[in-house]
Amino acid sequence: MNMIDHADNPREEYHFESSMEFCSPEVVLSVEKKIRSSMSLTPEDSAQLKAIVELELMRYDFAHGQYDATCRKQMIQAVRNKLIKDFSREPFENGPVDKAFYKALNREYGYV
């Protein structure tokens, strides 16, 4: 998989589900910290945010690692299924948590 660093394409809005790019772990973790400090999160929200961060860090690893397509798919679905099993929630649902996360992440990269 040929992925580019989102820092090289900040004019496009980034989202895990629609971009073939990766974000820097430092930026992802910094955004997670901001969301946790600015929003009042329920246990479900917190688990969703954790799953999103996990997926983003995974993508960074995918872009720099040697995982094959099947392995990548299994790892992503494992994170998703765990969240569904534990909290009946999808990592991405256009809800307040994922919206706030990607708004902050894009802002961090200078997208208005």
Partner 1 sequence: MRKLLSGIKKAFSPASDEQYWNQKAAELEYLSKSYKGEIVQDPALSSSSLQERAVAAVGHVDFESMLEGLEVDTSYVAISSVHIVLAVKYGLVGTLIGHLTNVNADKIEEILLKLHGYFKPGGKRSPLDYHTGAKHRYTFGHDLNVFGELPPGYTIGGKDVGGKSLYSLVLDYIKEGYPNCGPVVGHFKAVMHILTHLISDLPTKDGVPLPFTSIFTEWVENGDNVSGYSAKNPVMDFLGREFGTINAADVTAYAVIKVLVKSHHAIEFHKSVAEEGDRELILAQMYSVAYGASIAVQMFIMMVDPGSLNAKLNHMIAWPFLYNAGKSQLLLLRQHGEVLGDYERSLAQLESESARFEDWVNAQ
Considering only 9, 42, 86, 93, the residue that binds partner 1 (CB under 8 A) is 93
Considering only 36, 50, 72, 82, the residue that binds partner 1 (CB under 8 A) is 72
Considering only 10, 15, 27, 34, the residue that binds partner 1 (CB under 8 A) is 15
Interface with partner 1, residue 69, by CB under 8 A: yes
* Sole residue written with tokens 């969703």: 48
Interface with partner 1, residue 9, by CB under 8 A: no
Interface with partner 1, residue 14, by CB under 8 A: yes
| Buried-state track 66-98, b at ≥16 Cβ within 10 A, e below 16 | ebeeeebeebbeebbeebeeebebebbeeeebb
